[in-house]
Structure 1
Amino acid sequence: MRNLGLKARMAVVGSILFAFYTVGIGFFYLTFGAPIPLLVGLSVVFVLFQYKLSKWFTLRSLKGQELPEEKYPEIHRFVERTSREMGIEKPTLYLVEMGVPNAFALGRQGNGTVAVSRELLQMLDRDEVEGVVAHELAHLQNRDSIVMQLGQGVASVVGFAAYFAVLMSGDNDLVNVFLGLIVSNIAQMLVMVFVFAISRHREYVADEDAAEVLGRGDPLARALEKISRGAQRRDPTDEAKEVSALCIFGTGGSLLSTHPPTEKRIERLRRY
């Protein structure tokens, strides 16, 4: 993470998430008397399980298949060369079915996956595909997928704590169950607001890193323009909607957006 702005934001958001996590763990400790090391251990196992399961489920739900090197040799060579320049291991490349042009990265530097939709390869020129792939490689280099997963894990811990707090606060079990679910979702969303905030900035950083690798920002800018137009003309599959937060393209402009506005990203890339 060479970007100083990203480091500062990560420090702030990381402190806030740690505070939320401490409150959640503290609730279970005070309520049930479970040892804190046990609670921390269980939460770590839960996050790891969630991480492994989500990666497998995402690729399976999108009918992911490894991108054949004999059919797409240029992409494989570009990924191998760029990964070496970035100091990361070459990720596994997947072709997925999303109904719209899009791409995403999963995992970490030593065990990463970059997935591109069939529609994206059909729509974009070669240098535009390289811009998109460079963006996803930057996400792996910056460990963005892991940060998102940790944020979701903290949100889950806080959500569980909020649910049990409501459940144990009254005598009407049925009402408390429904109220607990509502409060749990609100608590999780409150945590995710901070995760989404850092996610939006991470998209800018990945754009900049991709432009640096390519030596110019225009290929990725053109790719985002085409992807945006393609998203307007086509409907994503239900499975694709579930992973929109991971993708290079997503709607932006609100507090709950995981992506900044596309037009602002394009404007910044044009200036590179």
Structure 2
Amino acid sequence: MGFAKTAILMAAMTALFLGVGALIGGRGGMMIALVIAVGMNAFSYWNSDKAVLRLHNAREVDERSAPEYYRMVAQLARNAELPMPRVFIIETDQPNAFATGRNPENAAVAATTGLLQRLTREELAGVMAHELAHVKNRDTLIMTITATFAGAISMLANFAMFFGNRDRPGGFIGTLALMILAPLAAALVQMAISRSREYEADRMGAEICRNPLWLAGALQKIEAFAQRIDNPAAERNPATAHMFIINPLHAFKHDKLFSTHPNTANRIAALREMAGGMPAPAAAPRPVPARPRTGPWG
């Protein structure tokens, strides 16, 4: 269902682009905006992983420097039938995590020190499984395509005063309305796609770690901590907030139109419902060896 909803929303975004392009810029203006947007987002697609990791001062770790955390990600990657991603730690007290990379072969996952310290082993497995689900679903590619169309629509709106056909019904007022409403509509669809991908990553992440309740418990804890613990790097770079499992800037009470993250209570309810239809959790393998923790994660 998640993929079907995403496909419908992306079709809506494409139709919006074609409609706005025809009304404002005609075929010529539409192609100019699309070419510019493709160029900008192609650069972002190939380089965004390095940029976002650098913005958050992420430190790469391996089996020697963070053995339990690294082995957990390795086990979950095997569960998901994915190549081993690069593994990073972000030095911040707010528990959170994200995945980046243009494809599974060039993926990276990052967890904050707050996440590693404040969650149980099982909850941490649920979070990292969610991030690997984003990798498996190629959500970076989906959101890049979505951003391309949204950017092209915004450019067309900016071009409207130059390319707009004032002889059509509505004239100047119609052009002005399109300039305002077209980017707004594109943003609504873009955010809806982002929320849809979060729900799908929750579902697949629960399958990867083999217990939806691990992720449900983690989401509840992360949101509670995120409401009272700042993430300074995220505050300085709010454009990266959509990448995190929970909004690092502030928690949304409802699935607001411009929210990139679904309502956490709704996500938890869906995971608990999913848990009711799965085999007993005791049958699921643990992501890491069940041994006492002798020190901090990495």
Aligned to 1:60: 54
Identity %: 32
Residues 98 and 185 (structure 1), Cα distance of their counterparts in 2 relative to 1, 3 Å cut: farther
Q: Name the aligned partner's letter for residue 101 of structure 1.
A: P
Aligned to 2:15: 19
Q: What TM-score results when the alignment is normalised by the length of structure 2?
A: 0.76
Deviations 1:81-135 (A, max 9, x none): 2223322211111112455211111122221111111211121122211110000
Inter-partner Cα distance in structure 1 for 2:47 and 2:257: 28
Inter-partner Cα distance in structure 1 for 2:86 and 2:25: 39
**Which range moved further: 50-59 or 243-252?**
50-59
Aligned residues: 256
Residues 11 and 267 (structure 1), Cα distance of their counterparts in 2 relative to 1, 3 Å cut: closer
1:203 is the counterpart of 2:198? yes
Aligned to 1:192: 187
Structure having the higher Rg: 2
Inter-partner Cα distance in structure 2 for 1:159 and 1:7: 26
Inter-partner Cα distance in structure 2 for 1:267 and 1:198: 20
Aligned to 1:257: 259
Q: 1:152 aligns with which of 137, 147, 153?
A: 147
Inter-partner Cα distance in structure 2 for 1:47 and 1:185: 23
Q: CA deviation at 1:183?
A: 7.5
Aligned to 1:124: 119
Q: Name the aligned partner's letter for residue 247 of structure 1.
A: F
Q: Is the 8 A contact 2:90 2:112 kept in 1?
A: yes
Q: Is the 8 A contact 1:25 1:40 kept in 2?
A: no
1:224 is the counterpart of 2:219? yes
Q: What TM-score results when the alignment is normalised by the length of structure 1?
A: 0.82
Deviations 1:229-264 (A, max 9, x none): 211221222235332211111234211111211112
Aligned to 2:107, what secondary structure does the other structure show? strand
Q: 1:106 aligns with which of 86, 95, 100?
A: 100
Q: Is the 8 A contact 1:221 1:269 kept in 2?
A: yes
RMSD: 2.8
1:9-48 maps to which residues of 2 (within 5 A)? 9-23=5-19, 30=27, 42-48=36-42
1:239 is the counterpart of 2:236? yes
Q: CA deviation at 1:154?
A: 1.1
Using CA pairs under 8 Å that are at least 6 residues apart, name the structure with larger relative contact order, 1 or 2: 2
Deviations 1:29-57 (A, max 9, x none): 6456x9x5x87655433221122343332
Deviations 1:165-205 (A, max 9, x none): 125669xxxxxxxxx9x976753332121122122222222
Deviations 1:64-92 (A, max 9, x none): 11124213222222222222332221111
**Which range moved further: 11-20 or 90-99?**
90-99
Gaps of 5+ in 2: 166-174, 276-298
Gaps of 5+ in 1: 171-179
Inter-partner Cα distance in structure 2 for 1:241 and 1:46: 19
